[in-house]
Amino acid sequence: MLAFLIRRLGQSVFVLIGITLFVSFTIRLSGDPAVALFQGASAPTPEQLASIRQALGTDRPFLQQYAEFVAGVARGDLGTSFRTGGPVAAAVMQRFPTTVALALSSLAISLLLAVPLGVLAARRRGGVADLIVRVVSLLGLSFPNFWLGIMLILIFGVRLRWLPPSGYEGPVSLILPSLTLGLILASTTTRLVRSSLLDVLNEQYVVTARAKGIHENAVVYLHALRTALIPLVTFVGLQIGGLIGGVVIIEKVFAWPGLGSLALNAIAVRDYPMLQGTIVVLAVFIAAINLLVDMSYALLDPRVRVG
């Protein structure tokens, strides 16, 4: 287990180096932050641009800037934002809980919906309930998340006035954005639970359990479901990355002050340090989740450790 952990940690370090190099390089290709400051409102002279570049430190060679960034990351210092003049680490860590809260509550909603519905559909395979679940989950897959978000805002925020349409006003503000992401994620998850449970229900040991006269509920919940949910663990781990991508869009729709809006604004004004810092923190987070998933898988299935 230890050897597995060390090997995976080593891989994660390479992934992080690759990501930071890629992000640092591509955002520098995308435009000059000194020019972006002028916003088409005034024409900078070459001397003015030079003095701004010097103040920002973007006049130095790329590899030097990158090396300083990586050295900073190793010390836990993500640099200073071009735009706010403040430390990037503080800004990112302030946003981190709001984004994670959104991602986790979306995940929770999707699981709370997907597991019971998936089980229901599998048990009534071919029945009306199965058909409804399958059609609804297919519909859910087809909705763009921003469209669903705006619909939920119009229904629950504007028409019924039950919930705040946008912003960050405490736990109640979480409901609409996490419902948006959760409903869409639940669509895929429901289908996974259904097919996984159907597979297990055909296994020999389930047939044996039934033959022994065990009550059907006990067969499904005590014997089959636990095995059927193992692929779900992997699936959820893989979804975290995609979920963070969805969060970026949903944060914009719901004016949710998280890492997504931080990253998008940083791109808009070419705030290199802020974007790099946001990406590093998100990458570490996603890598950590995947590591946890792999470890839990390794615990569940000994073959992974040697393979």
Partner 1 sequence: MKTRLLALTLALALGLGFAQQANTLTIAQAQDPQSWDPIDTFFLAWGMIGSSIFDGLVERDLDMEIGPGLATSWEWIGDDDDRLRFTLREGVTFHNGEPFDAEAVKFTFDRLLGEEGAAGPQQSNYTSIDRVEIVDAMTVDLVLASPDPVLITKLAGYGAMIVPPGYVAENDDETFNRMPVGTGPFKVVEYVSDDRLVLEANPDYFGGAPSVDRVVFRFIEEPSTRVAELQAGRVDIVQGVPISLAGSVENAPDASIVPVGSPTVSALRFNHCLAPTDDVVVRQAIAHAIDREGIIDVILEGYGTPIASFQSSMSLGFDPELEPYAYDPELAQRLLADAGVASDATVQIDFIGSDAIFREVAQATASMLEAIGLNVELVTHETNTYYNEMVPENRVGHLYYSGWGGWTLDFDNTAGLLYGTGQFWNPCFTSQEVDDLLVAQRQTYDQDEREAILQEIARLEHSLLIDLPMYQHQNLWGVADRVQGFQAPADDRHDLTAVSLAN
Among 75, 169, 211, 303, binds partner 1 (CB under 8 A): 169
The first and second tokens of residue 52, run together, are: 């701004």
Decide whether 252 or 305 has the Cβ nearer to partner 1.
252
Binding segment (CB under 8 A) for partner 1, from list 59-67, 69-77, 181-189, 257-265: 257-265
Q: Is 126 left (phi over 0), alpha (psi -120 to 50) or beta?
A: left
- The tokens describing 5, both together, are 């952990």
Q: HSE, CB side, 13 Å, CA atoms: give it for residue 6.
A: 3
- What does the per-residue mask of binding to partner 1 show for 95-114, with x meaning CB under 8 A? --x-----------------
Does residue 282 interact with partner 1 by CB under 8 A?
no
# binding residues, partner 1 (CB under 8 A)? 54
Q: In this chain, which of 136, 265, 284, 294 binds partner 1, going by CB under 8 A?
A: 265
11 binds partner 1 (CB under 8 A): no
| Helix ranges restricted to H, the chain | 2-29, 33-36, 46-56, 62-75, 88-123, 128-142, 145-152, 175-201, 204-211, 216-218, 225-228, 230-253, 259-268, 272-300, 303-306
Q: Does 255 bind partner 1 (CB under 8 A)?
A: yes
* Residue 28 binds partner 1, judged by CB under 8 A: no
Q: Min. distance of Cβ 240 from partner 1 in angstroms?
A: 22
- If one asks whether residue 302 binds partner 1 (CB under 8 A), the answer comes out as no
Distances (CA, A) of 196 to 10, 131, 140, 224: 33, 17, 20, 10
Rg over alpha carbons for the chain, rounded to the nearest Å, is 24
Q: Which residues bind partner 1 (CB under 8 A)?
A: 30-32, 35-45, 48, 51-52, 55-56, 81, 83-87, 91, 94, 97, 150, 153-154, 157-158, 161, 164-172, 252-255, 257, 261-262, 265, 268-270
